[in-house]
Homo-oligomer: A and B are copies of this chain.
Amino acid sequence: MALTDRTVPNDVALNTDLYELTMAQGFWESGLVDAQGCFNVFFRDNPFNGGYAVACGIGQIAELVENLRFDDESIAYLASVKAPGGGPLFKQGFLDYLRDFRMHVDIWAIPEGDLAFPREPMVRVQGSIIECQLLETALLNLINFQTLVATKASRVVYAAEGHPVSDFGLRRAQGHDGGLAVARASYIGGCTSTSNVLAGKIYGIPVFGTHAHSWVMAFPTELDAFRAFAKSSPKNCCLLLDTYDVHQGIQNAIIVAKEMEAEGERLNAIRIDSGDLARLSKETRAAFDEAGLPYVKISVSNDLEEYTIQSLFAQGAPIDTFGVGTKLATCDPQPALGGVYKLSATRDSSDEPWRPVMKLSEQLYKRTIPGIQHIIRYEDASGCPVGDMIVDEGSDTGNRSVMVNLVDPVTTYSTAGYTGRELLQPIVADGRRVGEPDSIEEAKARCKDALMRLDPATKRFLNPQTYHVGLERGLSELRQRLAAEH
């Protein structure tokens, strides 16, 4: 399967921060090879000052876990690393341990494409603390960026009000792998196609593209260029109007559209990639309508995102499709989700009960949530989600009539009248994938459905309504107890 070749190279185990390996060696050396941990991937604030995030990257976790091992080349490299104070950083015994290393973790996650909210565990990993630690960086690298892009795409698509949006971001992404992640996540988040051919091949995403300014410049005149393109690609013809002057471009495109009609073909669309898109799209629409070419669609691009698209529609711009590149691929203006991976419980071996743990900080928002966490998503009678409750297996009082605010425990929210469902699903057990993987289309459909059911007040861009994430009462009390211990 091509995906395996691409996303999981042989030395994928080294796609990690060095401290994961120095810690692993420390656990190994301290006799904690069997010690267990429970870690959670979560983010602290919704991206883009928005009201939600789209969980993404989940579908690639199982493959990562199944293939994470240290090949001979990787071991040889690690053996060569020197400690700052002299001598090899890693001991031979630890390297031998890594040579036979296989993952046996259990992982639960929010199904890909479903919504995620601040502080709740998007992904929960349980297993030997060494294994959990060796997954940290790769998991964050996978989930952080794809969740951010899927969320950005969902916002752009929401602004586009049903008009198709294509991902044009490859040239501004971080390498080919970054481009693939952009295409995959933005398709799940709602884009209809991508310009990225490799993403088409690997993920089956519909690909889209016609010609660039250079096509026009390579011919003696713009009209020559348009004619040549129409002749070569009559079934995929979108002419780019702004190489020299859009008004001249409109006239030349109309000539070619008429010539195509005479050949029994149809000019599919025109594209404008610079200038005042609101004014130019109106002038273009008027000219093509007047020429009896109402079927020619108008496509635009040029540093677009959700706000410019909203503004274009607010100005009545008659635009049919959007190409969104730079600001999608880089998630401008918030290029990092800031997702973290924090330990929430430990035990000396799998036979013992979990001991919940909590990280503190003088920055209060960095204080974590302890325990073996589940998420109950509450929905009203129409299926609209209204709040998520985080429950700890070990301190669950069974009282789910209210959930308690994380920061201010005197504030509670009633769950009366709502139906709760368990959100986290098992995706890896004993280091192996559970069940069949979701297709990318299933994740896309799940995202579309979840966003359709989300309150528009939570989806709006400016000051969205807060979606409440609270703690089950027993977990809230546990958290207060642990904080008081230090």
A residues at B contact (CB < 8 Å): 2, 5-7, 9, 11-12, 14-23, 25-27, 29-30, 32, 35, 37, 39, 73-74, 77-78, 81, 83-87, 89, 129, 133, 136-138, 140-142, 144-145, 168, 170-182, 195-198, 200-201, 207-215, 217-218, 228-229, 231-237, 242-246, 248, 265-266, 268, 274-276, 326-327, 329-333, 335-338, 342-343, 346, 357-363, 366, 486
Contact = CB atoms under 8 A, between A and B. Distances in A.
A17 B330 CA distance: 17
A200 B21 CA distance: 13
A265 B85 CA distance: 9
Contact of A195 (B19, B179, B358): B19
Given A196-B17, A218-B343, A326-B338, A142 B276 contact: no
A242 B362 CA distance: 9
Nearest to A86: B235
A201 B76 CA distance: 9
Contacts of A73: 2, 201
Given A30-B228, A214-B23, A326 B332 contact: no
Contacts of A330: 330, 335-336
Top-3 shortest CB links A-B: A18-B209, A174-B178, A85-B235
Contacts of A233: 22, 25-26, 83, 89
Contacts of A11: 2, 198, 201
14 contacts: A2-B73, A9-B176, A15-B198, A17-B170, A18-B208, A22-B236, A27-B218, A74-B201, A85-B235, A89-B235, A172-B338, A175-B175, A275-B362, A276-B362
Contact of A244 (B137, B209, B486): B486
A75 to B, nearest CB: 11
B274 A363 contact: yes
Nearest to A194: B18
Contacts of A144: 171-172
A217 B354 CA distance: 13
Given A18-B209, A22-B209, A360 B170 contact: no
Given A11-B201, A37-B218, A335-B330, A232 B178 contact: no
B212 A19 contact: yes
A326 B337 CA distance: 9
Contact of A145 (B16, B174, B266, B360): B174
Given A17-B209, A27-B218, A174-B177, 12 more contacts: A11-B198, A16-B196, A18-B207, A37-B214, A74-B201, A85-B236, A141-B171, A142-B175, A213-B342, A217-B358, A275-B363, A326-B338
Contacts of A78: 197
A183 to B, nearest CB: 11
A29 B231 contact: yes
B179 A15 contact: yes
A243 B35 CA distance: 20
A336 B145 contact: no
Nearest to A330: B335
A98 B331 CA distance: 34
A176 B141 contact: yes
Nearest to A343: B214
A26 B359 contact: no
A172 B11 CA distance: 20
